[in-house]
Structure 1
Amino acid sequence: MRAPDWTPPSTHERPYRIEELARLASSAAYAGRDLTAPGVEGYDALWRWSVDDLDGFWRCVAEYLGLDLPGPALAEERMPGAVWFPDARVNYARAVLDGRPDDEVAVVGLTEDPGGTRTLTWAELRAEVAGAAARFRELGVGEGDRVVGYLPNTPDTIVALLATASLGAIWSVCGMDYAASAALARFGQLEPKLLVHATSYVHGGRTHDRSEVVAELRTALPSLVATIDVGDVEWAEAVGADPARELEFVEVTFDRPLWVLFSSGTTGKPKGIVHGHGGALLEQAKVAALHFDLGPGERLFWYTTPSWMMWNFVVGGLLTGASVVAYDGSPAHPATDQLWAITADHGVTATGMSPAYVAACQKAGVGPQGHDLSRLRRVGISGSTFPAVSHRALADALPPVVQIASISGGTDVVSAFVGPAPTTPVWAGELSRPCLGVALDAYDESGAPVRGEVGELVVTRPMPSMPVMFWDDPDGARYHDAYFDTFPGIWRHGDWITLTDHGSVAIHGRSDATLNRKGIRMGSADIYEPVEALPEVREALVIGIERPDGDYWMPLFVVLGDGVELDQALETRIKDAIRTHASPRHVPDDVIAAPGIPHTRTGKKLEVPVKKVLLGQDLSGALDPGSVDAPELLEWYAQVGTLHRP
C-alpha cells in the first residue's frame, strides 16, 4: 500500500469541526456507535455512516450547523426526484446573515490596484443586502422572478445574490468576460425581470469597457422591467440606505429554486441547472465547515469568476461564519505570484487555485516561497486533475502544516463529490476521500462496482444539492438523460476514476473523451501530467479518433514555450516521458505543435469538441462560441483534421 505524501499534524489549535460533528453523530439519536476514532479510520467510519443513514446524517449536519430543519431529512428516496426536508422552510440569505457578529469582517473586495480594497463587516453586508432587496422589491421583483447579473467578482455581486435570495427570487450571473451572445444564450432562457450590471472590469492591468455589451443585453431581453448599474447613484443610494433597515426574508420550501447555473455550452445549448435553497445551503455549509474546516475567524479565498460554480462555493463559505475574499483581476498581475500575495496579505486560511496556475508559477520560479503564509492551512485545487509532480513541488514550497486539498465536483451539484478532510492523509496526484454524504462508487460498463481499476464515477444515493430540475425541461427528459440514462436510478457523472487500495480516488478525465486504443481505456490526465511537466511545454491536448477501417489515431497537440521548436529530440523526450510515467500504450501516434488549446470559460480543455472538428463535424449548431475562450482555434484543428483524415 502506497504511503501518503502528507499526514495531518498530530496536534492543532482546536478540535477540527469534523471531529465535533463525529462526537455529535456518535450520540444514540444519530449513529449510536463510536465514530470518533482518530485520523483516517474515524473519517472512514463517519463516511460509511453518512451514506448508510442519509436521514440521520443530514439531520445531524443541520443540527451541528445550527439550521432549523424540522421533520425527516430524506422523506422519499429516488433519483431523480428525491424529497428532502419537506417540513422545512428556509432562505439561503437568512442562513448566511442571521446571527453574525456585527463588527467582524464578512467580505473583503480586492482589485489589482492595492488601493482598491473594500471591506464589509457583517453589519454592513446585511445593511447593503437590505437596501438592495428593498430596491428590487420596489421594481416589482418577487418570489420566483429572475434577477440576472452581468458582473465582476466584487462585493456588489455577493450583495445582489443575497438580496435576490432574500426575496425568494431566482438568481443567475455571468462574468464580464462573456460576450453578449454568450450571456444571452443563458439569460435569454430565463426571461429575467431585472438586470444588475457593471460597465467595466479589470484584468491584466487594463480596464475593459463593457458598456456596449450591456446595451445589447438591455435590448435583447424584452422581459426586463429595469436595469441597475452597480456603479451608478441608484445602486449607491440603495445599498447606502439606513443601516438599521430591517431585512425581511421570504421563507420558501427546501427545494424552491435559488439560482440557475449553466453548463459550459460546448456540446450544445447551455443547460440551465437549477438548485434549491435548502440543498445548496446544506451542501455548501457541509463542505466548507467539515471538509475545509472553515468557521468564524477563518478566511476563504478562491480565484474564480462569477461564471464558475466556484464563485458560488466561495459565497457558501459565508454560511459557516467565515469571511471571504472577492478578487476582480488577473491571477498573474502585477506579478505571476499574485494569488499567493493576496493569500499572505489578507490572512487567508484556505486558498484555492487551478493546476494551470500552479504550473505557471512553478515554471516562472515563483510561488508560496517568500510570502508569509503563517495563517494558511489548506490550498484547494480544482478545475482539472492536479499532477503528482506539481503537487510535490508545491508541497515542498509550503509550510508542512498546509494540506493540499484537491476537490472534484461540478456545476451539477454546486459542490464536491471527492476531496479532503482535515483528518485525512493526502497522496500526490489523488484525491483523499469521497465527501461525507456522497455515496460514491466506480462502475464498469455492466454497472458492477470495480476497485483498483478504471470505472465510471457514480453516486448511488441522493445528495441534497442534486438539481431540482433543468430550466425549460417540463417533463424532466433532459435532466434524466444527462445523468441517469446509463445506469437507471444511479447518477453517472461522466468522469473516469479509480478507487485505490488505500481509499483515495484517482481521476483520469472525462469519460465522454475517453481514449480507447484497441480496447484499452485510458484517461487523458495520465498523459498530460508528464508532458506538461516538461519545461518546453506549456500545455497539451490528446485526442483519440476511431477510423472507419477499425484503426485508431491518437495525436498529441502541444503548445510550446516562447522560442521552442518541436524537433525530433523534443518529440522523443515527450514520448519517453509518457512511456515512463504511464505506459507504452499511452504514447501518441503523432506529436503536433499547436498555436493554442481551446478551453471552456472555466479553463477546461475542449477535448470532445476538438475531437468532433477533427472528424469533420459541423459544430455551428451545437457549440456556443461565447462559451469558448478562443473559438478561432477550432478552425485550425478542423484544418488538421482535413489533412489527417483517410
Structure 2
Amino acid sequence: MTDIDPIWVPDEAAVQDARITALARLVTERHGVELDGYDALQRWSVEHLAEFWTAVLDLFDVQVDGDRGRVLVDDAMPGARWFPDVALNYAEHALRGDGHELVVVAETEDGTTTACTRGELRAEVGAFAGWLRGHGVVAGDRVVGYLPNGTHALVAFLACASLGAVWSVCGQDYAAGGAAARFAQLEPVVLVAADGYRWNGRVHDRRDEVKALRAVLPTLRHTVGVEHVGLGLPPGAVGWDEALAVPAEPTFARVAFDAPLWVLFSSGTTGVPKGIVHGHGGVLLDHLKLLGLHLDLHDGDRFLWYTTPNWMMWNVQVSGLLVGATVVLYDGSPAHPDPGRLWTLAAAHRVALLGVSPGYLLASAKAGLDPGRSHDLGALRVLGCTGSPLPASSYHWVHDHVGTAVQLASSTGGTDVVSGFAGSSPTTPVWPGEISAPLLGVALEAWDADGRPVLDEVGELVITRPMPSMPIRFVADPDGERYRDAYFSTYPGVWRHGDWVTLTSRGSVVVSGRSDSTLNRHGVRLGSADIYAVVEALPEVREALVIGAELDDGGYWMPLFVVLEPGTDLDATLRDRITAAIRTQASPRHVPDDVLAVDAIPHTRTGKKLEVPVKRLLQGAKLDRVAGRDAVDDPDLLAAFARYAPATGPGR
C-alpha cells in the first residue's frame, strides 16, 4: 500500500462537537468500553450489533410502541429480523419538531423557488393523507408517483408513509413503458403524476405518457394530477389542489419495524427491473446513522444532493428531514444554463452538505471552474460524492478549487440497501482516491475467490453481518429465491455486492469497479476505475468506457472507447498519448488492445456506465437481450456498439 498523506484531517473542536462523538460517549457510559477513535468504534459497532443499533435508537430519541428488548433475532443472512416487537412510523420522525422552522426549499431549472416550514409541510401531508384515506387507501396499498424532484413527490411520499401505505416513484424521463415495467409489478391503487418537467432549457410535456401509463395499470382507482410546468392536468386526473383542499393534521400509523415503506427498482439493464422492498424501521435507523452521524447534519443545515426520483439518493435526501435539516430540492439539469449550476445553487441557498457525482466534479474541472473563488461557499462543510469511483485528481481539485476546509466525503453503497457501505465521518481523515472507512454497523470485507479476507489487495466487496436496511424482500419473489440468488449465491450466508474493493491497512476503502465487468489481463484482475481516472483527466477526452470481453475462440479483447471533446480527432498522436498515460499512471497491463472513438457512452438513467451490456454485445449477444430500452439513457447509443461484435470487431 502506498504511504500517502491525508488531504483533509478533522478539526479537533469539530470532532468533540460531532454527534458521532456523542454516540461514542453514550456507548462508553452504557457498556464501559473505551473507544479510542473511529476505528475502535466501528469495530465495536460490528461486533455488538444489537447494542449499537439500540444506541442509535436512543441517541435520536426514536419513538416506538412495544418491547425494544429483542433487537436482532437470528443474525443469519438472509432472514435476520430486527426489533420484531416494535412498531413505529418513518413519517412521524420526518415531521416532528418546531412547526416554524424552514424544512423544504425547491427550485426548478427556470429559477422558480418555493419554500415551506415544517408546519406547512405537515399540513399538506395531513391533507393529502386524508384524501388518500377518504378514497379507500389503507396500510399496505401501493401508491406510485410519476413526478419530477420537487415538493409534490415529498408530500405524497410522506402522506403514504403516515398511513402505512407503500410508495414508489420514478422520474418523467422514463417513457410510459419504462414506468409501467416498474409500477405494474406493484398493482398500485393511486397514481400521482405531473404534466411535465424541465430539462436543458426545454419544457417536456408528459401528459400523453401519463395517459398511456394509466392505460396499462388496471388496478388504478384514482389519478392525482400536478401542474408542475403549467401545461394543465393530465386527462382524467383529480387536481393536486383539490386533493389538498380539506385541511388535516397528520396522524401516524405505527407499523411493524419491517413493514414496507417504499419500493426501489434496479436499473433493469439485465432484465425486468427488480422491485426492492425496504422497511420503515430499517430505513429510519440507517438514515439517522448515515445523515446524523456520518454526515453530521443538524437542525437547520441546508442539504442538497443532486438527484432525480429514479435514484436512491432521492430517498436519502428526503431523509434529511429525520435529522432536522432543510432539504433543498432541484429539478433540472446540473449544467444549465452553465456547468456551474450546482455551485450556484449551493451558494444561493447556503448549503452545508452538497452531494454530486464524480462526473460533475470532473466536468467542473475540465470547464475551468473555480467555485471556491467565484461563489460564496462559506456555508459548505461537506461535499458528498457517490455513483462511481472518484479519482485522486478530483480530491486535489476540490481541495484547490472548492476549499481546503471542505471535507470531500466519497462513499459507496447501493439501491439494494438504500444506504452506504463505506464513507466518511467528521472524525476520519480523507486520503486522495480513497473512501475514508467502512460505515458504522457495516461488517465490510474484501474476499478473494476462495472466500478469504484480504488486506491491501483487490477482492469482492462482501458484508458478513446483517444491516437493518437490507431488503425485506423483492417484489414477486414469494419464496425469496431471486433475493438469495442476487446476493448470497456466491458465498452462502454472506452478502456479495458485486464491486471490487481494496481494504487498506490504514482503514480506508478503494473501489475499483464492478466485479461483473472485471478486466482480466494475463490472470490479473484490473479495475476499470483505474483507467477512467487516467484517461478522463486528459483534456481531449470527455468520457471513456473500457471493456474486457472473453471471446468464443479463447481470445480476450480489451477495447477502450473514448468520447472526444469537440474539434478533437483520434489520430495516432492522441492514441499514443492515451496509451502512454495509462502505461505510466496505471500499469502496462491496463493498456487496452484498441482505442476507439465513439459519439457518446450509454448510461443507466442514474448515470452509471453500461459496462456489462456493452461487454455482452461485444461477445455477440443480441441487442434486445442485453438491456431494456427504458433502462438506458439513450438506447441508440447502446445499439451503436453492436457493430464491434466479434465478427466485425477490430483488433482480431
Q: Per the shorter chain, which TM-score range?
A: over 0.9
Query: Out of 315, 319, 322, which is 2:318 matched to?
Result: 315
Shift of 1:395: 1.4
Cα distance in structure 2, aligned partners of 1:119 and 1:136: 24
Partner of 1:551: 555
Alpha-carbon displacement from aligned partner over 1:468-493 (angstroms, at most 9, x marks no partner):
00000001000000000000000000
Cα distance in structure 1, aligned partners of 2:261 and 2:623: 32
Shift of 1:549: 3.5
Q: Determine if the alignment matches structure 1 residue 223 to structure 2 residue 228.
A: no
Cα distance in structure 2, aligned partners of 1:47 and 1:13: 16
Q: What residue identity is the alignment partner of 2:573?
A: A
Partner of 2:128: 132
Q: 3-state SS of the aligned residue for 1:516?
A: strand
Superposition pairs of residues 494-533 of structure 1, within 5 angstroms: 494-533=498-537
Structure 1 residues 372 and 295: CA distance shift in structure 2, 3 A: same
Cα distance in structure 1, aligned partners of 2:332 and 2:110: 9
Which segments of 5 or more consecutive residues in structure 2 lack a partner in the other structure?
228-232
Q: 3-state SS of the aligned residue for 2:45?
A: helix
Partner of 2:241: 236
Cα distance in structure 2, aligned partners of 1:12 and 1:86: 37
Q: Determine if the alignment matches structure 1 residue 402 to structure 2 residue 391.
A: no
Cα distance in structure 2, aligned partners of 1:509 and 1:452: 16
Cα distance in structure 2, aligned partners of 1:337 and 1:8: 28
Q: 3-state SS of the aligned residue for 2:127?
A: helix
Partner of 2:59: 64
Superposition pairs of residues 575-590 of structure 1, within 5 angstroms: 575-590=579-594
Cα distance in structure 1, aligned partners of 2:14 and 2:50: 31
Query: Out of 449, 459, 465, which is 2:469 matched to?
Result: 465
Partner of 1:16: 18
TM-score, scaled relative to structure 1: 0.97
Q: 3-state SS of the aligned residue for 2:576?
A: helix
Comparing 343-352 with 224-233, greater Cα deviation is found at 224-233
Superposition pairs of residues 363-378 of structure 1, within 5 angstroms: 363-369=366-372, 370-378=374-382
Cα distance in structure 2, aligned partners of 1:239 and 1:120: 15
Residues 186 and 262 in structure 1, CA contact (< 8 A), matched pair in contact too: yes
Query: Out of 264, 268, 271, which is 1:265 matched to?
Result: 268
Shift of 1:622: 5.1
Partner of 2:95: 97
Shift of 1:164: 0.7
Partner of 1:85: 83
Alpha-carbon displacement from aligned partner over 1:3-40 (angstroms, at most 9, x marks no partner):
21111123339701111111111123xx32122x4xxx
Cα distance in structure 2, aligned partners of 1:154 and 1:184: 21
Identity %: 57
Cα distance in structure 1, aligned partners of 2:63 and 2:157: 22
Cα distance in structure 2, aligned partners of 1:481 and 1:411: 17
Q: Determine if the alignment matches structure 1 residue 630 to structure 2 residue 634.
A: yes
Alpha-carbon displacement from aligned partner over 1:283-332 (angstroms, at most 9, x marks no partner):
01110000000020211100000010000000111111111011111101
Cα distance in structure 1, aligned partners of 2:385 and 2:21: 23
Cα distance in structure 2, aligned partners of 1:234 and 1:543: 49
Partner of 1:2: 4
Partner of 2:425: 421
Partner of 1:391: 395
TM-score, scaled relative to structure 2: 0.96
Residues 340 and 367 in structure 1, CA contact (< 8 A), matched pair in contact too: no
Q: 3-state SS of the aligned residue for 2:478?
A: coil
Q: 3-state SS of the aligned residue for 2:239?
A: helix
Residues 616 and 626 in structure 2, CA contact (< 8 A), matched pair in contact too: no
Q: Determine if the alignment matches structure 1 residue 644 to structure 2 residue 649.
A: yes
Shift of 1:548: 3.0
Superposition pairs of residues 31-180 of structure 1, within 5 angstroms: 31-35=31-35, 37=36, 42-69=37-64, 70-98=68-96, 100-114=97-111, 116-180=112-176
Cα distance in structure 2, aligned partners of 1:458 and 1:367: 38
Partner of 1:199: 195
Cα distance in structure 2, aligned partners of 1:195 and 1:183: 11
Q: 3-state SS of the aligned residue for 1:89?
A: strand
Q: What residue identity is the alignment partner of 1:161?
A: F
Comparing 148-157 with 547-556, greater Cα deviation is found at 547-556
Query: Out of 438, 442, 457, which is 2:446 matched to?
Result: 442
Superposition pairs of residues 609-620 of structure 1, within 5 angstroms: 609-620=613-624
Residues 9 and 401 in structure 1, CA contact (< 8 A), matched pair in contact too: no
Superposition pairs of residues 596-615 of structure 1, within 5 angstroms: 596-615=600-619
Partner of 2:566: 562
Residues 2 and 502 in structure 1, CA contact (< 8 A), matched pair in contact too: no
Shift of 1:260: 0.5
Q: What residue identity is the alignment partner of 2:384?
A: G
Structure 1 residues 587 and 621: CA distance shift in structure 2, 3 A: closer
Cα distance in structure 2, aligned partners of 1:398 and 1:464: 35
Q: 3-state SS of the aligned residue for 1:620?
A: helix
Q: 3-state SS of the aligned residue for 1:26?
A: helix
Shift of 1:399: 2.4
C-alpha RMSD of the superposition? 1.3
Q: Determine if the alignment matches structure 1 residue 341 to structure 2 residue 336.
A: no
Comparing 483-492 with 358-367, greater Cα deviation is found at 358-367
Cα distance in structure 2, aligned partners of 1:5 and 1:416: 22
Q: What residue identity is the alignment partner of 1:17?
A: R
Residues 269 and 623 in structure 1, CA contact (< 8 A), matched pair in contact too: no
Q: 3-state SS of the aligned residue for 1:344?
A: helix
Number of equivalent positions: 635
Cα distance in structure 1, aligned partners of 2:589 and 2:520: 10
Query: Out of 484, 494, 505, which is 2:488 matched to?
Result: 484
Shift of 1:619: 3.9
Q: 3-state SS of the aligned residue for 2:355?
A: strand
Shift of 1:240: 5.1
Residues 549 and 557 in structure 2, CA contact (< 8 A), matched pair in contact too: yes
Q: 3-state SS of the aligned residue for 1:310?
A: helix
Alpha-carbon displacement from aligned partner over 1:232-290 (angstroms, at most 9, x marks no partner):
57311333543xx2211111100011111000000111000000010011101110000
Alpha-carbon displacement from aligned partner over 1:112-155 (angstroms, at most 9, x marks no partner):
223x1110100001000000101111121111110000000001
Residues 417 and 471 in structure 2, CA contact (< 8 A), matched pair in contact too: yes
Alpha-carbon displacement from aligned partner over 1:356-391 (angstroms, at most 9, x marks no partner):
111111111114231111111000001111111122
Shift of 1:621: 4.3
Q: What residue identity is the alignment partner of 2:80?
A: A
Cα distance in structure 1, aligned partners of 2:302 and 2:32: 34
Partner of 2:230: none
